[in-house]
Structure 1
Amino acid sequence: MTHVEHGFGPVWNRESRVLVLGSMPSPKSRQAGFYFMNPHNRFWPVMEALFDRQIGPSIAERRSFLLETGLALWDVIASCDIQGAQDASIRNALANDLRPLLSASAIGHVFVSGATATRLYRQLIQPQLNEAGLAVPMTPLPSTSPANARMSLEALRQAYRPIMLALED
Protein backbone atom coordinates (compact mmCIF):
# COMPACT_ATOMS: atom_id res chain seq x y z
CA MET A 1 0.00 0.00 0.00
CA THR A 2 1.40 3.39 -1.02
CA HIS A 3 0.20 6.86 -0.05
CA VAL A 4 -0.43 8.77 -3.28
CA GLU A 5 -1.11 12.46 -3.90
CA HIS A 6 -3.04 13.16 -7.10
CA GLY A 7 -0.24 15.31 -8.49
CA PHE A 8 -2.05 17.34 -11.19
CA GLY A 9 -5.20 19.36 -11.33
CA PRO A 10 -8.32 19.37 -13.47
CA VAL A 11 -8.52 20.08 -17.18
CA TRP A 12 -11.28 22.65 -17.68
CA ASN A 13 -12.15 26.17 -18.70
CA ARG A 14 -15.07 28.49 -18.06
CA GLU A 15 -16.92 27.05 -21.08
CA SER A 16 -16.69 23.43 -19.86
CA ARG A 17 -20.21 21.98 -19.69
CA VAL A 18 -19.62 18.38 -18.60
CA LEU A 19 -17.23 17.05 -15.94
CA VAL A 20 -15.96 13.48 -16.13
CA LEU A 21 -14.40 12.15 -12.93
CA GLY A 22 -12.25 9.09 -12.46
CA SER A 23 -11.07 7.78 -9.11
CA MET A 24 -7.28 8.30 -8.90
CA PRO A 25 -4.78 8.33 -11.78
CA SER A 26 -2.97 5.05 -12.37
CA PRO A 27 0.80 4.90 -11.80
CA LYS A 28 1.33 5.33 -15.58
CA SER A 29 -0.97 8.36 -15.64
CA ARG A 30 0.73 9.91 -12.61
CA GLN A 31 4.12 9.33 -14.23
CA ALA A 32 2.91 11.02 -17.45
CA GLY A 33 1.13 13.79 -15.52
CA PHE A 34 -2.18 13.34 -17.34
CA TYR A 35 -5.39 11.36 -17.29
CA PHE A 36 -5.96 7.84 -18.64
CA MET A 37 -2.41 7.41 -19.95
CA ASN A 38 -2.29 3.64 -19.42
CA PRO A 39 -2.35 2.37 -23.03
CA HIS A 40 -4.76 -0.39 -21.98
CA ASN A 41 -7.31 2.02 -20.51
CA ARG A 42 -10.08 2.60 -23.04
CA PHE A 43 -11.14 6.13 -22.06
CA TRP A 44 -9.54 7.78 -25.11
CA PRO A 45 -10.76 5.13 -27.59
CA VAL A 46 -14.26 5.56 -26.11
CA MET A 47 -14.03 9.34 -26.61
CA GLU A 48 -12.84 8.83 -30.19
CA ALA A 49 -15.77 6.50 -30.89
CA LEU A 50 -18.26 8.78 -29.16
CA PHE A 51 -17.16 11.94 -30.97
CA ASP A 52 -16.25 10.11 -34.22
CA ARG A 53 -12.82 11.70 -34.43
CA GLN A 54 -9.18 10.91 -33.87
CA ILE A 55 -7.77 12.59 -30.79
CA GLY A 56 -4.06 11.81 -30.94
CA PRO A 57 -1.79 10.35 -28.28
CA SER A 58 -0.10 13.50 -26.97
CA ILE A 59 -1.17 15.28 -23.81
CA ALA A 60 -1.51 18.53 -25.79
CA GLU A 61 -3.87 16.87 -28.30
CA ARG A 62 -5.94 15.30 -25.55
CA ARG A 63 -6.15 18.52 -23.54
CA SER A 64 -7.15 20.44 -26.67
CA PHE A 65 -9.87 17.87 -27.48
CA LEU A 66 -11.34 18.18 -23.99
CA LEU A 67 -11.45 21.97 -24.04
CA GLU A 68 -12.81 22.13 -27.61
CA THR A 69 -15.67 19.76 -26.84
CA GLY A 70 -16.73 21.29 -23.52
CA LEU A 71 -15.46 18.39 -21.43
CA ALA A 72 -13.67 18.83 -18.14
CA LEU A 73 -11.67 16.00 -16.61
CA TRP A 74 -10.59 15.40 -13.03
CA ASP A 75 -10.73 12.77 -10.31
CA VAL A 76 -12.78 12.25 -7.18
CA ILE A 77 -9.71 11.59 -5.04
CA ALA A 78 -7.01 14.12 -4.11
CA SER A 79 -4.97 11.61 -2.10
CA CYS A 80 -5.29 8.07 -0.81
CA ASP A 81 -3.51 4.87 0.08
CA ILE A 82 -3.60 2.52 -2.90
CA GLN A 83 -1.92 -0.62 -4.15
CA GLY A 84 -0.80 -0.05 -7.74
CA ALA A 85 -3.84 0.97 -9.79
CA GLN A 86 -6.36 -1.19 -7.93
CA ASP A 87 -9.39 0.91 -7.02
CA ALA A 88 -10.58 -1.86 -4.71
CA SER A 89 -7.50 -1.29 -2.53
CA ILE A 90 -8.16 2.44 -1.96
CA ARG A 91 -8.10 3.47 1.69
CA ASN A 92 -8.00 6.83 3.50
CA ALA A 93 -9.32 8.74 0.49
CA LEU A 94 -9.48 12.52 0.62
CA ALA A 95 -11.70 14.13 -2.01
CA ASN A 96 -10.91 16.90 -4.45
CA ASP A 97 -13.00 20.01 -3.79
CA LEU A 98 -15.22 20.44 -6.85
CA ARG A 99 -17.01 23.52 -5.55
CA PRO A 100 -14.64 26.16 -7.01
CA LEU A 101 -14.57 24.43 -10.42
CA LEU A 102 -18.35 24.03 -10.58
CA SER A 103 -18.91 27.63 -9.47
CA ALA A 104 -16.49 29.07 -12.05
CA SER A 105 -17.60 27.05 -15.10
CA ALA A 106 -20.70 26.20 -17.13
CA ILE A 107 -20.61 22.57 -15.92
CA GLY A 108 -24.18 21.32 -15.66
CA HIS A 109 -23.60 17.58 -15.35
CA VAL A 110 -21.04 15.31 -13.69
CA PHE A 111 -20.27 11.80 -14.94
CA VAL A 112 -18.31 9.43 -12.71
CA SER A 113 -16.34 6.57 -14.24
CA GLY A 114 -16.27 3.36 -12.23
CA ALA A 115 -17.95 1.89 -9.16
CA THR A 116 -15.31 3.00 -6.64
CA ALA A 117 -15.25 6.56 -7.95
CA THR A 118 -19.06 6.64 -7.84
CA ARG A 119 -19.19 5.35 -4.27
CA LEU A 120 -16.56 7.85 -3.12
CA TYR A 121 -18.29 10.70 -4.99
CA ARG A 122 -21.54 9.96 -3.16
CA GLN A 123 -19.75 9.57 0.16
CA LEU A 124 -17.23 12.44 0.04
CA ILE A 125 -18.23 14.98 -2.61
CA GLN A 126 -22.03 14.97 -2.75
CA PRO A 127 -22.37 16.18 0.87
CA GLN A 128 -20.02 19.11 0.13
CA LEU A 129 -22.03 20.07 -2.94
CA ASN A 130 -25.33 19.77 -1.09
CA GLU A 131 -24.01 21.97 1.73
CA ALA A 132 -22.88 24.58 -0.81
CA GLY A 133 -26.24 24.49 -2.60
CA LEU A 134 -24.69 23.17 -5.82
CA ALA A 135 -27.28 20.89 -7.39
CA VAL A 136 -25.42 19.29 -10.29
CA PRO A 137 -26.78 15.97 -11.59
CA MET A 138 -24.38 13.02 -11.45
CA THR A 139 -24.51 9.94 -13.66
CA PRO A 140 -22.39 6.87 -12.91
CA LEU A 141 -20.61 5.24 -15.85
CA PRO A 142 -18.74 1.96 -16.17
CA SER A 143 -14.99 2.04 -15.79
CA THR A 144 -12.81 2.15 -18.91
CA SER A 145 -10.01 0.48 -16.94
CA PRO A 146 -8.40 -2.73 -18.18
CA ALA A 147 -9.92 -4.30 -15.05
CA ASN A 148 -13.33 -3.90 -16.75
CA ALA A 149 -12.31 -5.93 -19.82
CA ARG A 150 -15.67 -7.73 -19.91
CA MET A 151 -17.26 -4.65 -21.56
CA SER A 152 -16.59 -4.23 -25.26
CA LEU A 153 -15.57 -0.90 -26.72
CA GLU A 154 -19.01 -0.66 -28.36
CA ALA A 155 -20.76 -1.33 -25.03
CA LEU A 156 -18.66 1.38 -23.38
CA ARG A 157 -19.44 3.81 -26.22
CA GLN A 158 -23.16 3.19 -25.70
CA ALA A 159 -22.81 3.59 -21.92
CA TYR A 160 -20.99 6.92 -22.40
CA ARG A 161 -23.59 8.32 -24.88
CA PRO A 162 -25.32 10.36 -22.14
CA ILE A 163 -22.24 12.62 -22.20
CA MET A 164 -23.21 13.69 -25.71
CA LEU A 165 -26.75 14.44 -24.60
CA ALA A 166 -25.49 16.51 -21.67
CA LEU A 167 -23.20 18.49 -23.99
CA GLU A 168 -26.20 19.32 -26.18
CA ASP A 169 -28.18 20.81 -23.27
Structure 2
Amino acid sequence: MNLGLPLFYDEQTKVLIIGSAPSEQSLRAQQYYANKGNQFWRVLFQALDVPDPQEYHQRLSLLKAHQIGLWDVYERFSRKGSIDHQFQETTINDFSQLLAHAPIKKIIINGKKASEEVQKHHLFPNLPIIHCLSTSGANNGRSIERMHQWQVALADIV
Protein backbone atom coordinates (compact mmCIF):
# COMPACT_ATOMS: atom_id res chain seq x y z
CA MET A 1 0.00 0.00 0.00
CA ASN A 2 1.15 3.51 -0.85
CA LEU A 3 0.69 6.40 1.53
CA GLY A 4 -0.69 9.54 -0.11
CA LEU A 5 0.75 13.03 0.18
CA PRO A 6 0.12 15.14 3.27
CA LEU A 7 -2.71 17.62 3.33
CA PHE A 8 -1.74 21.09 2.10
CA TYR A 9 -3.73 23.85 3.81
CA ASP A 10 -3.63 26.52 6.49
CA GLU A 11 -6.17 28.10 8.82
CA GLN A 12 -7.31 30.49 6.06
CA THR A 13 -7.99 27.81 3.43
CA LYS A 14 -11.46 28.33 1.94
CA VAL A 15 -11.25 26.15 -1.18
CA LEU A 16 -10.11 22.54 -1.12
CA ILE A 17 -9.13 20.81 -4.35
CA ILE A 18 -9.48 17.03 -4.10
CA GLY A 19 -7.92 14.45 -6.40
CA SER A 20 -7.96 10.67 -6.10
CA ALA A 21 -4.33 9.83 -5.24
CA PRO A 22 -0.86 10.96 -6.31
CA SER A 23 0.78 9.50 -9.40
CA GLU A 24 3.95 7.44 -9.15
CA GLN A 25 5.94 10.55 -10.17
CA SER A 26 4.25 12.64 -7.49
CA LEU A 27 4.98 10.03 -4.84
CA ARG A 28 8.65 9.90 -5.83
CA ALA A 29 8.93 13.70 -5.82
CA GLN A 30 6.64 14.09 -2.78
CA GLN A 31 4.88 16.86 -4.69
CA TYR A 32 1.30 17.27 -5.83
CA TYR A 33 0.87 16.96 -9.61
CA ALA A 34 4.55 16.25 -10.36
CA ASN A 35 3.69 14.20 -13.46
CA LYS A 36 4.74 16.41 -16.40
CA GLY A 37 1.78 15.12 -18.44
CA ASN A 38 -0.72 16.39 -15.87
CA GLN A 39 -1.92 19.90 -16.69
CA PHE A 40 -2.97 20.81 -13.13
CA TRP A 41 -0.59 23.70 -12.54
CA ARG A 42 -1.09 25.20 -16.02
CA VAL A 43 -4.89 24.94 -15.77
CA LEU A 44 -5.01 26.24 -12.20
CA PHE A 45 -2.85 29.31 -12.72
CA GLN A 46 -4.49 30.12 -16.05
CA ALA A 47 -7.91 29.90 -14.37
CA LEU A 48 -6.64 32.17 -11.58
CA ASP A 49 -5.12 34.49 -14.20
CA VAL A 50 -1.69 34.51 -12.54
CA PRO A 51 1.69 33.42 -13.92
CA ASP A 52 2.89 29.93 -12.97
CA PRO A 53 6.09 30.38 -10.94
CA GLN A 54 7.20 26.84 -11.99
CA GLU A 55 9.01 26.14 -8.71
CA TYR A 56 6.95 23.87 -6.46
CA HIS A 57 7.24 25.80 -3.18
CA GLN A 58 6.38 29.06 -4.95
CA ARG A 59 3.35 27.34 -6.46
CA LEU A 60 2.24 26.31 -2.97
CA SER A 61 2.76 29.87 -1.72
CA LEU A 62 0.48 31.14 -4.47
CA LEU A 63 -2.15 28.58 -3.50
CA LYS A 64 -2.00 29.80 0.10
CA ALA A 65 -2.32 33.40 -1.08
CA HIS A 66 -5.52 32.37 -2.88
CA GLN A 67 -6.73 30.35 0.17
CA ILE A 68 -6.58 27.06 -1.76
CA GLY A 69 -5.68 23.72 -0.21
CA LEU A 70 -4.85 20.35 -1.80
CA TRP A 71 -5.53 16.80 -0.73
CA ASP A 72 -6.66 13.49 -2.11
CA VAL A 73 -9.57 11.18 -1.41
CA TYR A 74 -7.28 8.25 -0.63
CA GLU A 75 -4.99 8.19 2.38
CA ARG A 76 -3.59 4.76 1.43
CA PHE A 77 -3.93 2.86 -1.81
CA SER A 78 -2.51 0.15 -3.99
CA ARG A 79 -2.65 0.64 -7.73
CA LYS A 80 -0.82 -0.57 -10.79
CA GLY A 81 0.76 2.47 -12.40
CA SER A 82 -0.90 5.86 -12.10
CA ILE A 83 -4.24 5.29 -13.81
CA ASP A 84 -7.31 5.78 -11.62
CA HIS A 85 -9.23 2.72 -12.76
CA GLN A 86 -6.39 0.48 -11.54
CA PHE A 87 -6.91 0.97 -7.79
CA GLN A 88 -7.03 -2.34 -5.96
CA GLU A 89 -7.19 -1.40 -2.27
CA THR A 90 -7.97 2.00 -0.83
CA THR A 91 -8.46 3.79 2.49
CA ILE A 92 -10.33 7.11 2.50
CA ASN A 93 -8.74 10.15 4.18
CA ASP A 94 -10.45 11.47 7.32
CA PHE A 95 -11.60 14.98 6.41
CA SER A 96 -13.24 15.74 9.77
CA GLN A 97 -10.17 17.35 11.39
CA LEU A 98 -9.56 19.57 8.38
CA LEU A 99 -13.18 20.69 8.28
CA ALA A 100 -13.03 21.44 12.01
CA HIS A 101 -9.88 23.61 11.68
CA ALA A 102 -10.17 25.41 8.34
CA PRO A 103 -12.98 27.64 7.06
CA ILE A 104 -13.55 25.51 3.95
CA LYS A 105 -16.38 27.02 1.88
CA LYS A 106 -16.13 24.98 -1.32
CA ILE A 107 -14.75 21.68 -2.62
CA ILE A 108 -13.42 21.36 -6.17
CA ILE A 109 -13.06 17.79 -7.39
CA ASN A 110 -10.30 17.04 -9.89
CA GLY A 111 -11.50 14.09 -11.95
CA LYS A 112 -14.05 11.31 -12.17
CA LYS A 113 -12.63 8.82 -9.64
CA ALA A 114 -12.35 11.42 -6.89
CA SER A 115 -15.87 12.60 -7.71
CA GLU A 116 -17.26 9.06 -7.48
CA GLU A 117 -15.63 8.51 -4.07
CA VAL A 118 -16.78 11.85 -2.65
CA GLN A 119 -20.36 11.02 -3.66
CA LYS A 120 -20.20 7.38 -2.57
CA HIS A 121 -18.89 8.20 0.92
CA HIS A 122 -20.82 11.49 1.37
CA LEU A 123 -17.55 13.18 2.36
CA PHE A 124 -18.75 16.80 2.28
CA PRO A 125 -22.50 16.79 2.94
CA ASN A 126 -22.72 20.46 3.96
CA LEU A 127 -20.44 22.06 1.39
CA PRO A 128 -20.87 23.05 -2.24
CA ILE A 129 -18.99 20.65 -4.49
CA ILE A 130 -17.86 21.49 -8.01
CA HIS A 131 -16.86 18.57 -10.23
CA CYS A 132 -14.21 19.43 -12.84
CA LEU A 133 -12.70 17.41 -15.64
CA SER A 134 -9.42 15.84 -14.58
CA THR A 135 -6.25 17.75 -15.34
CA SER A 136 -4.70 14.43 -16.37
CA GLY A 137 -3.05 14.31 -19.77
CA ALA A 138 -5.71 11.76 -20.73
CA ASN A 139 -8.16 14.70 -20.89
CA ASN A 140 -6.05 16.95 -23.11
CA GLY A 141 -8.50 16.34 -25.97
CA ARG A 142 -11.11 18.13 -23.86
CA SER A 143 -8.85 21.00 -22.83
CA ILE A 144 -11.27 23.80 -23.78
CA GLU A 145 -14.16 22.28 -21.82
CA ARG A 146 -11.80 21.47 -18.92
CA MET A 147 -10.42 25.03 -18.83
CA HIS A 148 -13.94 26.48 -18.79
CA GLN A 149 -14.96 24.23 -15.87
CA TRP A 150 -11.91 25.23 -13.83
CA GLN A 151 -12.41 28.94 -14.61
CA VAL A 152 -16.02 28.71 -13.40
CA ALA A 153 -14.96 26.75 -10.30
CA LEU A 154 -12.33 29.34 -9.38
CA ALA A 155 -14.12 32.49 -10.59
CA ASP A 156 -15.08 33.79 -7.16
CA ILE A 157 -11.53 33.66 -5.78
CA VAL A 158 -9.66 35.35 -8.63
Q: TM-score, normalised by structure 1?
A: 0.86
CA contact (8 A) 1:21 1:76 kept: yes
Distance 1:39 1:95 in 2: 26
Provide, for residues 6-61 of structure 1, a one-character-per-residue CA deviation record: whole Å limited to 9, x for no partner: 1x311111111100001000011111111111111101000121122212222211
- Quote the offset at 1:123 in angstroms: 1.9
| In 1: Cα distance, 2:9 partner to 2:97 partner | 12
- Structure 1 spans left out of the alignment, 5+ residues: none
In structure 2, how many angstroms separate the alpha carbons of the residues matched to 1:166 and 1:116? 25
Kindly indicate whether residue 75 of structure 2 is the aligned counterpart of residue 78 of structure 1: yes
Distance 2:146 2:84 in 1: 19
Aligned twin of 2:94: 97
For the residues of structure 1 that align with 2:116 and 2:124, how far apart are their CA atoms? 15
2:147 aligned to which of 138, 152, 157: 157
1:147 counterpart = 2:138? yes
Query: 1:109 and 2:100 equivalent?
Result: no
The one-letter amino acid paired with 1:156 is: R
Distance in structure 2 (CA, Å) of the matches to 1:140 and 1:82? 23
Aligned equivalent of 2:39, options 35, 38, 42: 42
1:136 corresponds to: 127
Question: Deviations along 1:112-145, whole A, 9 cap, x unmatched?
Answer: 1111111111223x2x555xxxx11212111000
Given that 1:18 and 1:166 are in contact with CA atoms closer than 8 Å, whether structure 2 keeps it comes out as no
Contact 1:17-1:167 at 8 Å conserved across structures: no
User: Residue 141 of structure 2: SS of its match in structure 1?
Assistant: coil
Is the counterpart of residue 13 in structure 1 residue 10 in structure 2?
A: yes
The structure-2 alpha-carbon separation of the partners of 1:42 and 1:129, relative to structure 1 and needing over 3 Å to count, comes to closer
Q: What is the aligned residue count?
A: 158
> SS at the partner of 1:25?
coil
Opposite residue 41 of structure 1, the aligned amino acid is: N
Structure 2, unpaired ranges of 5+: none
Q: What is the TM-score normalised by the length of structure 2? A: 0.92
User: Alignment RMSD, CA only?
Assistant: 1.6
